[in-house]
Amino acid sequence: MDDKTILHQIDALVAEEHQLRSTDSPDPARLRHLEETLDQCWDLLRRRGALREAGANPDAAKPAPIDQVEGYLQ
């Protein structure tokens, strides 16, 4: 998956999140899933960028498991 594809996926997830939040009763489980998936996508972009900066192939980056991404310290 290349950066452009990941960014398109992020755009779609953000649009769905905004649409869901605009309803009177958003589904908390779906919102949580969207937030976790967005975090995973952003993490993958950072991983790809780090590999690129190190002179490695960014396509070698794989998405981290959601529980790992959600466990990062801010």
Q: How far apart are CA 57 and CA 74, in angstroms?
A: 27
> Tokens at residue 60, please?
């070698």
Q: Note the pTM of the prediction, 2 decimals.
A: 0.90
pLDDT band at 10 (very low <50, low <70, confident <90, very high): very high
Q: What is the pLDDT of residues 17-74, one digit of tens each?
A: 999 999 999 999 999 999 999 999 999 999 999 999 999 999 999 999 999 998 886 6
